[in-house]
Amino acid sequence: MEADLEELNRRGDDMLPGLLGIEFTELDGGVVRARMDVERKHLAPNGYLHAASIIALADTAAGYGCVANLPEGATGFTTIELKTNFLRTTQSGTITCEARLVHGGRQTQVWDAEVATADGKPMAHFRCTQMLLR
């Protein structure tokens, strides 16, 4: 995928990334950086950030990175496994995500992502495996 940041940010406007307010700030080879301002819609009923909001940010960053790094002959991908370890939560601020390509094979890609709080403290460690479609 040859796309600039403006195109990446436009791509999911009327889908989950847009609805959640995910914004991409960097796409550089096997590294993707994104951010999301925490709003009431991202919270669980207990008033803290919902785990699914964190996963959505990390999975979206990894997914956009996967598409940007598809090998020749691949037409897309589907997630076949993901795991997240949560370290802390928040109620407000901007959370950030840095996703990195760990393995870029012919059939699969593995991505690691770290989500951090507004003050830079690690919030979650995420890993997913993407099966490449042909």
Tens-digit pLDDT profile for residues 26-38 = 999 899 999 999 9
Query: How many domains does one find in the chain?
Result: 1
pLDDT digits (tens, 9 = 90+) for 46-79: 999 999 999 999 999 999 999 999 999 999 999 9
- Residue 1's pLDDT band (cuts 50, 70, 90): very low
CATH code, domain with 32: 3.10.129.10
Containing H/E element for 7?
A: helix 5-11
Label residues 38-72 b or e (16+ Cβ within 10 Å = b). Answer: beeebbeeeeebbeebbbbbbbbbbbbbbbbbbee
- Is residue 8 classed as helix, strand or coil in its secondary structure? helix
Task: State the virtual CA torsion across 104, 74, 85, 122 in degrees, nearest 10.
Answer: 70
Range of the domain at 29: 5-133
Where do the H-state alpha helices sit in 45-124? 51-68
What is 27-41 written as a DSSP string?
Answer: EETTEEEEEEE--GG
